Structure 1
Amino acid sequence: MESDVKLFGGPAESVAPLAPGSAAGKKGLKTDALGLFSSVVIGLASAAPAYSLAATLGLIVAGVGLQAPIITMLAFIPMLLIAYAYKELNTSDADCGTAFTWATRAFGPRTGWMGGWGIIVADVIVMANLAEIAGIYGFRLLGFDSLADSRMWTTVAGVIWIIVTTAVCYVGIEVSATVQRWLLCTEVAMLVLFAVTALVKVYVSPPPTAIHVSASWFNPLHVDSARALTAGVLAAVFIYWGWDTAVTVNEETADSTRTPGRAAVISTVLLLIVYGLVSTSAQAFAGVGTEGIGLGNTNNSGDVLSGLGNAVFGSQGPGWFFSKLLIFMVLTSAVASTQTTILPLARTVFSMAAHKAIPSRLARVHRRFLTPTWSTVGVGLVSIGFLILLTTISRNVLADSIESVGLAIAFYYGLTGFACVWYYRKVLTRSSRDFLFKGLLPGLGGLMMFYFFYYAAFVVYADPDYGATSIDLPFIGRTGGVTVVGLGALLLGVVLMLVTTRGYAASLRLQRSLLPRSLPPQTAVEPTSRYVPADSRSGVGGDWFDLIPLSGSRVGLVVGEVLGHGLHAAVTMGRLRTSVRVLARLDFPPDELLAHLDDVVGQNAKEQASVHGGDSTGSEGAEALGVTCLYAVYDPVSGLCSMARAGHLPPAVVSPDNGAVTYPELPPGPPLGLGGRPFQSAEFQLPAGSLIALFTDGLVQAPDNGTDVGLGLLAGILAQHRLPLEELCDRAVATLLPGPVGDDAALLLVRTQMLDEHRTAVWELDADPATVGDARTATTGQLAEWGLEDLSFTTELIVSELVTNAIRHAAGPIHVRLIRDQSLICEVSDTGHTSPHLRHAANDDEGGRGLFIVAQITEQWGTRYMPSGKIIWAEQALS
C-alpha cells in the first residue's frame, strides 16, 4: 500500500487513485457540479476584465488614439469565432483537455500535444504575473506603498496568493465557483459603477480632459494605418482571453456537451459589452492626452483604472471609499483570474496524463473532493517556481515573458479553430448550419489567430526596440526578447513533445506490424478489412483481426480486443494472435480453440502477477486478463459456418437474397482468462454471397453513438450488400467514425463463396482391404477428368496409405474426398478418434513408413476431428 499524503494542512488521505478512464466524463471528476450561470462566471472571471482593461487600455490608446473603443470591440470577432469552434467540438467530445484533446483527434498526438503545451505555457506565465499583481494591489489597498514597490515582498505576496488559490481549486470545483461568484459580482458592479459615474460627469461636470462620445470613435477606418490597426487589435485580442475556462471544466458541468459551449459564447458577448462600455466611458472622461489622467500618458499605461479612481469618484467621503474599492476591484480581478487560471491549467495537465501524453501519475483524482490532485498541486508549484526564478533573474525578463503569452494564446486558439474544421470535414456539406458553425466561422477564427501569431512574433515583438530586453541571436541578429521568449517556450514544447509522444508512435508501429499486412485471396471468402488507430497513446491498444487458411479449403475468421492500451496491450495482442494462428492450424473447432486460448491468457496473467509480486490488478495484469475474442470457421464446400465468442460482440450477417442484416445470438462466453462457464459453438448455414462482418466495439461505440445506435448504423450500411466490399468498409468507417476516435477500431468484412460441386469428389468405402484398389481406381479416374494426370501416381499412393491406415485402426464406413482448389486436397475420414503419429521406422520394422511417405510427397498434412470421428488430410501443390 502506498503511503499517505497530507496536503494544505487537511486530513491525511490515501494516495489519490488514478483516473479510471481517459474518455470524456470517465476520468472520475465530480459531475454536474456547475450550472450555466457558474460556468459563465468562471469564464468571465478568467478573463479578469478589470485587470485586463487596467493594463491594456492605455496601450491600445497609444496605438490607435480615439478609435480605442472600436478596437476593443473588433477584437471580439476572432474570439467569438473561436468560441463557436469550442462550442461545436465540445458537443462531440466534452473532454477537459479541450485544445489538446481536439487537436489530437483532428491532427494526431503530436499536434495535440503542442496544443496542450500552448495552454500550459500561457497559463503558467499569466499565473505568475497575476499573482504578483495581486500582491502589489494588496499592499496598495492596505496603504503599504513601499512594500508594493519591493521586488522581494511582492514576490512573497504573489507566492502566497498562488498557494491560497491553488488550495481553493484543490478542495473542490463548487468552492471555486462560489468564490468566483462573489468576486466577479464585486468586479462587474464596480466596473459598471465606474463607467456610469464617468459618463455622467462628462455631461454634467466634465473635467478639463473630458470629450463627448463621437461616432468617429467607432469607425476603424479612422485609424492612421493598417499596421496601427493590426497592432491595436492584437493588443485588444488578449483582453478577452480566459473565457475558454468555462469549457475546460466541462466534465464537471451539468449537461456537459451543451452548457460549456453556451457559456463560452455568452462569456465573450458579456465581455464585449463590459469592454465597450468601460473603454468608451474612460476615454470620454480622461481623453487620450499624454499628461495627467489622459489615457495616452505612458506613466499610467500599466494601470489606467486606479489612476482614474480619484478623478472619477473624488478623494473625500464616499469617493475615497469607491476609489479604494476600485483598487480592491483590480485586486479581486487578479486573484479571481489567478484561481480560474489554475482550473484550465490543472485540467489540461490532468487530461494529458489520463491520455498518457505525459506521466500518468498526474492523472490522480482526490477521493473526497473529486478534483485533480497532483496536476493541481503541480501547476501551483511550477507557477511559484517560475515566478521566483524570473523575478530573481530579472524583472525585465519577467515583463517580456508576460507579453509573450499572447503568442501561446494565439497558437492554441488558432489550432483549435482549424481542428474544428478538420474534425468535422466529412459533415460540412450536410447542412448550411454545419458549414457555417463547424467550418466557416471556426476556419476564419483560426486564420485570424494565426495571422496575429505571425504578425506579433515576426513583426511587432521581433523589433529589438520592443519590450524590455533584446537578444543577439546567431544568424538572425538582435531580436526582441518577447519573440525570443515566446517562440522559445513553444520550441521547448516541440522537444518535450518528441520525447513524450514516442510511446504512442512506438505503440502504433508495433500494433500495425503485428496486424496482417494484407489478406491473401481465398476460395472460401472475398475479404477486406480496416484498422482505425486511436488518436492518442491512451487509445492505441490491442484490437486485432485475422484471416487464417485452414485445411479442406476452409477459412478461419478472428477478431479480438485486449483490455488496456499502449505497448503492453500491443505486445499481448501479438502473443494472442500468434496463439490463435497456431491453434487454428491444429483444426480445433471454435469452442475448443477459445478454451485453449483461455489457458494461454490465464498463463500470461500468472506470469505478469509473478513479476508484480502477485498483484494481478496492475495495468499489465489487467491487459493480460481482459481479452475478448470471436472465432469463426467457414467451409465453402458445405456452406456451414461455426462460431464461438469470448465476451465479444456477435458478428453481423447479411443475407445475399434481400440484404437482411442479423446479429446471430451466439452462446455467450466470458472474456478470456476470467474463468466461468465453458465456451460453446453455434453453426449456421450460409448461402454463397452472404456477408459476415466481424468488428471490435471501438467501431460501434464512437462518442456520438451508443452501442445500439452504432449497431443500427452498421446494419444500414451492410444492407447495401451488393456494393464492393472496399466501398462498404469505407462507408462503415466514414459513418460510424466520422471524426478521429479515442479507441482502436477493427473491421473484418468477408463475402462467402461456395466451391463448385464439380471441383469435389466423394466416395464411401467399406472397411475392407479389398476396397483400397477401388479407391485408387476412382482417384485415378477423377484426376484424369480434372486434367491432373501428372498427380495420379502420388495421389494414388496417398489414398492407398490413408485408406489402409483407416481400415487397420478404425471401424465403420470410410469416406474419401478429393477437392481441387488452389491445391489438390485428399481427405480420408473414419469413425476412429486415435490420432496418427509420424515416426521413423527402424530397418527391421514391417510397418510405420506409410505416413512418413505421405509427409514427404505432400506440402502439408494433418488431422482434424469431428463428432463422428476424424479426417486425415494431405495437400499437394498444383503445377
Structure 2
Amino acid sequence: MKLYGGASYTARLAPAAGAGRKGLRSGALGLFSSVVIGLASTAPAYSLAATLGLIVAGVGLQAPIITMLAFIPMLLIAYAYRELNAANADCGTTFTWATRAFGPRTGWMGGWGIIVADILVMANLAEIAGTYGFRLLGYDALAGNRLWTTVVGVGWIIVMTTICYVGIELSAAVQRWLLCVEVAVLVLFAVTALVRVYTSPGPTSIHVSASWFDPFQVASARAVTQGVLAAVFIYWGWDTAVSVNEETADSAHIPGRAAVISTVSLLVTYGLVATSAQAFAGVGPTGIGLGNAANSGDVLSVLGNAVFGGHGTGLLLSRLLVLMVLTSAVSSTQTTILPMARTVFSMAAHKAVPSRFARVHRRFLTPTWSTVGMGLASIGFLVLLTAFSHDVLADSIQSVGLAIAFYYGLTGFACVWFYRGVLTRSARDLLFKGLLPGLGGLMMLFLFCYAAFGVYANPKYGATSVSVPLVGRVGGVTVVGLGALLLGVVLMLVVTRGHAAALRLQRSLLPQRLPPQTAVELASRYVPADSGSGVGGDWFDVIPLSGTRVGLVVGDVLGHGVRAAATMGRVRTGVRVLARLDLAPDEVLARLDDLVEQGSGDQLDARHADAEVRGVTCLYAVYDPVNGRCSLARAGHTLPAVVLPDSGGVASYPELPPGPPLGIGGPPYQSTELQLPPGSLIALFTDGLVQAAHGTDAGLTELARTLAQHRRPLEELCDSAVAALLPGPVDDDAALLLVRTRMLGEHQTAVWELPADPELVGHARTVVAAQLAEWHLDELAFTTELIVSELVTNAIRHADGPIHVRLIRDRTLICEVSDTGHTSPHLRHAATDEEGGRGLFIIAQMAHLWGTRYTPTGKTIWAEQELPPGQAADRRQLP
C-alpha cells in the first residue's frame, strides 16, 4: 500500500484474533526478561518513596507487616493470571479472559479498566520523572514549575513510546539494565541502613522488633484496612509480564510463572526496605522520621543523605538513590505503555475497538496504532489536566486504585467461572483455579468498595470535592474513579452493540428446537464466539424428508458479525428449500454454491472489507431409516465422526470426497454412501469445536475420546463434548449435532413389485387394502386405494420396466410408487373437455403432502396421509 509521496505503509493488520496468532514477535522474551518487565512495571523505588510514609502515618510501627499483608491479594490474583494464561495466552489478558468467562460486555469493561488505570498512572509517572530530573540536576525551582515538569514529562512519554514502538527486545534490554541497578541500590540502601542501626545508630534509630510484624498491634481494624489499601497498589504492575505473553517463549507457562515470581520478589524487596528504613529513621513526625508529613511524598530522597552521608561516596550514593527513583518512574512509564498498547491491540484484533488498532509493524512486529495511540492519549490527558487543574490531576492519580482493584478483581472471578467445570477434578484445580483466585477477587471487591465509598468518598479526602445530586458533596477521587469506569459502560454499550446484534440475529436464525424424528435421535449445542471477531455464521439443521428420511446439515460462514449471520440465514433457508426437492447431497451443494456465489455480488465496499463473507463450508447428509444408508457430501467442511454400535466405542472420521467451500468455485461435489446399523452415532460439527483445544488434531482426538461413551444419552454426550473441548467460550462459533440412527421395524413397511401390466392395477389396490386392514387403518383404505390406483396407472402409462409399491406406517401413512421413468409429473387443472389430467389433482386433494424424488434407476412419487388419532406407530425402534 502506498501513501502520499510514495512512502510504503509499514503496518499490517493482525492476521488472526486467537492467542498467539496476532503476528507479534513470538519467543522474544525468556523467564528472566519477563520477571524484569513485571518488576519494572511496579516502579519499586518510586512506589516505596511515595507510599511508605503514608503507610506509617496510618499504622505506625506495623508498617512492615502491613506492606507484606498487601502482598496476599496480589499473589492470589497472580495465581488467577497464571491459570488463565495457561489456558489462553492472549495479550488482552483481563479483556480476553473476562470475555470468555462472562461475555463480551464484561470483558470490554475489563479491558477498559486496564486502559483507565494505565492512562491515569502515566500522567503521574511522567510528572514524577520531570520533577526528579530537575532535582537530580539541582534545579529545584524548575522541579516545582508545573509547565516545565509537564514538558519534560511529555518528553519522557515520547521517548518511552518510541522504545516500545521499535521492539520488545529493546524494551526488555532497557528494563534489564535499569531494574538491576535499581534493585542493587535499594538493597544497598537497606543493608547500609540496618548496619548503621546496629553499629552507629542515629538519634531516631530503633532496633527491629517482632511486634512490627504483628498486625494485631495496629490500633483498629479500620487502620489495618486503610494501611493495606495504601500498600496494596505498590505491587500493581507485575501483570505486564503476562500482557506480553504472546511475545514470550513458552507463552502458556513462562508469563504465569513470571507473574508469581514478580510478586514474591516484590514482597522480599518491600519488606526489606520498609523494615530497614523504619529501623533507621523511626516513625516520628519530625526530621527524617517516616511519620513526617512533609516527607510523605518522597521518603527515600530524605533518607538517602542520612544513610549514605553527604560527602564523597555517600553523596554519590545518595544522588544515585534519587536517580533510581527517577529511573524507576521512567521505566515504569515504558512498561505501562506495553500492557496498555497490547490490551488495545488485542481488543482491536477481537473487533472490540476499531480494527486499525490491530496493525502490526512489518519489521519490528510491534503494535503500531495502539502503541502510538496510547502514548498520545497519555500525553493528552497529562496536558489537559495540568492545564485545567493540578488538584484534579492529583485526585485522578489517586483514583487509579479503583480501576486497578476493578480489573484485578474481575480477573479473579473470571478464573473461577472459567474453570468452574473442572474445579472438582483434583485438589490442585480446586485450590489454584477456584479458592485462591476467588478469594483474591473477593479481597479486591472489598478494597474497591471500601476505597470508593468509605475512604475516597469523604469530601475532606484528596484535593477536590464535587456536589453530586441526591448524594451531596463527594470526594473528587471517588468521582473521577467511578466516573471513568461509568464512561466505559457508555462506550461499552456503543461498541458491543454490533456483537450483540449479530448474536441475536444468529440465535434467531438457528433452530429453536429440534423436532423429534423417527429416523434418528438428536441433540445439539451452539456456543457463540465471545467477541465480535468470531460471532456469526455457524449453524446446524435437521430437515424431515419424504419416506421418513431425514436431512442433516452443519455449516460455517467464513466471516463474522451481522453480515455472516445474515448470510447463514440465507444459506440455511436455501438448504431447506433444496433439500425438500429430494435432491442428492452433491446436487444440493452444487445448487447452493450458485446461490452463495450470486449473493457474493452484494458484498460491502472496500472500507468494510473486514466484515465480508469469505465463503461457506457445509456438510449435508441424508439418512434413510428403511435401509440404514446415509449419503453425504461436503463443501470444504470438517469430516464427521462416526461410532458404530459394535466398534467398542472407537470413533472414526470416514473419508469423504473433498469439495471447495460454497461460493469459491472449483471441482464438482461428490456424494458418498455409508451403511449405518441402528444405534450408530454420528457427530457433525464446525471447526470451532475442535480448534479451540490445542489444535485441530488434539481437538479431534478429544472429541473421539468423548464419543467413546456413545451409549450415554445424547444430551449428556453434548455436555461432555462442550466441557472437554470448550472449557470456556472461544474466538470462533462452535456448533455440534449428535445423531443416533434408528431403523424402521419390518412391521412398519410393506413392498410389492409389479410388472407394467394395466390388469394388475386392481391387484395393487387389493394388496394395499389387505395391508391397511392388518395395520388397523381400514378408514384410510378408500383414499389409499385411489392414490395407489392413480400412481400405478401413471407409471404403467408413462414408463417402462417393473413398478414398486411401498407403504410406510410412521407418524403418517406414506404411499410410494417407483418406476424407471425420469419425467416428473406436474399438477394442473384439466379442462372440462379433457378425459385425463385429473389424477394428480385428486391425489393432491386427498393427501396431506405429495412429491417426487429421483433415484439412480428412475423416480418415486409419494403421498402422505395423516393417521387417525391414536394410530401413530411406535417410534422407539432402537435395538
Q: Deviation of residue 118 (structure 1)? A: 1.0
CA deviation digits over 1:358-389, x for unaligned, max 9? 22221111111111111111111111111111
After alignment, is 785-794 or 290-299 more displaced? 785-794
SS in structure 2 of the partner of residue 365 of structure 1? strand
The corresponding residue for 2:397 is: 402
Paired AA for residue 665 in structure 1: E
The corresponding residue for 2:871 is: none
Alignment of 1:236-255 (within 5 A): 236-255=231-250
The corresponding residue for 2:479 is: 484
Paired AA for residue 698 in structure 2: V
Q: Deviation of residue 620 (structure 1)? A: 4.2
Q: Deviation of residue 710 (structure 1)? A: 2.4
Contact 2:64-2:213 within 8 A present in 1 as well: yes
1:872 and 2:867 correspond = no
Q: Select 1:513's aligned residue among 508, 513, 518.
A: 508
The corresponding residue for 1:817 is: 806
Q: Select 2:140's aligned residue among 140, 145, 153.
A: 145
Q: Select 2:674's aligned residue among 664, 684, 689.
A: 684
Alignment of 1:822-861 (within 5 A): 822-861=811-850
Q: What is the CA RMSD across the aligned residues, in angstroms?
A: 1.7
Distance 1:430 1:759 in 2: 48
Q: Select 2:610's aligned residue among 597, 614, 619.
A: 619
Contact 2:79-2:437 within 8 A present in 1 as well: yes
Distance 1:510 1:4 in 2: 41
Distance 1:160 1:563 in 2: 45
Q: Deviation of residue 119 (structure 1)? A: 0.7
1:31 and 2:26 correspond = yes
Contact 2:2-2:8 within 8 A present in 1 as well: no
CA deviation digits over 1:152-191, x for unaligned, max 9? 1111111111111111111111111111111112211221
Alignment of 1:470-549 (within 5 A): 470-549=465-544
The corresponding residue for 1:3 is: 3
Contact 2:555-2:618 within 8 A present in 1 as well: yes
Contact 2:92-2:346 within 8 A present in 1 as well: yes
The corresponding residue for 1:8 is: none
SS in structure 1 of the partner of residue 712 of structure 2? coil
Q: Deviation of residue 271 (structure 1)? A: 0.9
SS in structure 1 of the partner of residue 361 of structure 2? coil
Distance 1:207 1:735 in 2: 65
Distance 2:147 2:797 in 1: 101
Distance 1:307 1:193 in 2: 16
1:458 and 2:448 correspond = no
Q: TM-score, normalised to structure 2's length?
A: 0.96
After alignment, is 331-340 or 354-363 more displaced? 354-363
CA deviation digits over 1:664-712, x for unaligned, max 9? 2222222222222222111122122222211112222223x33233223
Q: Select 1:168's aligned residue among 163, 167, 170.
A: 163
Assess, with a 3 A threshold, how the Cα gap between structure 1 residues 620 and 468 changes in structure 2: closer, same or farther.
closer
SS in structure 1 of the partner of residue 682 of structure 2? strand
CA deviation digits over 1:298-346, x for unaligned, max 9? 1111111112222222222222222222221111111100000000001
CA deviation digits over 1:765-810, x for unaligned, max 9? 2222222222222222222322222222322222222222222221
Paired AA for residue 876 in structure 1: Q
Contact 1:4-1:15 within 8 A present in 2 as well: no
Contact 1:405-1:486 within 8 A present in 2 as well: yes
Contact 2:561-2:611 within 8 A present in 1 as well: no
Contact 1:765-1:771 within 8 A present in 2 as well: yes
Distance 2:585 2:747 in 1: 29
CA deviation digits over 1:41-68, x for unaligned, max 9? 1001000001001100110111111111
The corresponding residue for 1:214 is: 209
The corresponding residue for 2:877 is: none
1:758 and 2:763 correspond = no
Contact 1:4-1:14 within 8 A present in 2 as well: no
Alignment of 1:47-66 (within 5 A): 47-66=42-61
Q: Select 1:301's aligned residue among 296, 302, 317.
A: 296
After alignment, is 77-86 or 251-260 more displaced? 77-86
Distance 1:785 1:306 in 2: 104
Paired AA for residue 710 in structure 1: G
- Gap runs ≥5 in structure 1: 6-10
SS in structure 1 of the partner of residue 13 of structure 2? coil
After alignment, is 241-250 or 363-372 more displaced? 363-372
Q: Alignment length, in residue pairs?
A: 867
Paired AA for residue 3 in structure 1: L
The corresponding residue for 2:873 is: none
Assess, with a 3 A threshold, how the Cα gap between structure 1 residues 659 and 214 changes in structure 2: closer, same or farther.
closer
Distance 2:438 2:4 in 1: 49
Q: Deviation of residue 214 (structure 1)? A: 1.9
CA deviation digits over 1:171-229, x for unaligned, max 9? 11111111111111221122122222222222233222222222222221211111111
Contact 1:245-1:344 within 8 A present in 2 as well: yes
Q: Deviation of residue 267 (structure 1)? A: 0.8
Alignment of 1:198-213 (within 5 A): 198-213=193-208
Paired AA for residue 23 in structure 2: G
Contact 1:64-1:223 within 8 A present in 2 as well: yes
Distance 1:720 1:55 in 2: 61
The corresponding residue for 2:62 is: 67
Paired AA for residue 24 in structure 1: A
Distance 2:31 2:7 in 1: 34
Distance 2:43 2:344 in 1: 22
Q: Deviation of residue 4 (structure 1)? A: 6.1
Distance 1:500 1:95 in 2: 21
Contact 1:602-1:624 within 8 A present in 2 as well: no
Q: Deviation of residue 656 (structure 1)? A: 2.2
CA deviation digits over 1:586-633, x for unaligned, max 9? 11111111111122222222332xx537x9x93344x242x2111111
Paired AA for residue 103 in structure 2: G
Distance 1:512 1:259 in 2: 39
Distance 1:293 1:431 in 2: 53
Q: Deviation of residue 23 (structure 1)? A: 0.8
Paired AA for residue 646 in structure 1: A
Query: Percent of aligned positions with the same letter in both sequences?
Result: 78
Alignment of 1:133-532 (within 5 A): 133-532=128-527
Q: Deviation of residue 15 (structure 1)? A: 5.7
SS in structure 1 of the partner of residue 26 of structure 2? coil
Distance 1:299 1:660 in 2: 76
After alignment, is 445-454 or 194-203 more displaced? 194-203
After alignment, is 714-723 or 636-645 more displaced? 714-723
The corresponding residue for 2:120 is: 125
SS in structure 1 of the partner of residue 234 of structure 2? coil
Paired AA for residue 682 in structure 2: I
Contact 2:560-2:611 within 8 A present in 1 as well: no
After alignment, is 186-195 or 167-176 more displaced? 186-195
After alignment, is 394-403 or 208-217 more displaced? 208-217
Distance 1:558 1:196 in 2: 72
1:725 and 2:720 correspond = no
Contact 1:861-1:875 within 8 A present in 2 as well: yes
Distance 1:46 1:666 in 2: 54
SS in structure 2 of the partner of residue 819 of structure 1? strand
CA deviation digits over 1:546-592, x for unaligned, max 9? 10000111000111111122211111111111111011001111111
Paired AA for residue 690 in structure 1: S
Contact 1:401-1:482 within 8 A present in 2 as well: yes
Distance 1:162 1:781 in 2: 93
SS in structure 2 of the partner of residue 770 of structure 1? helix
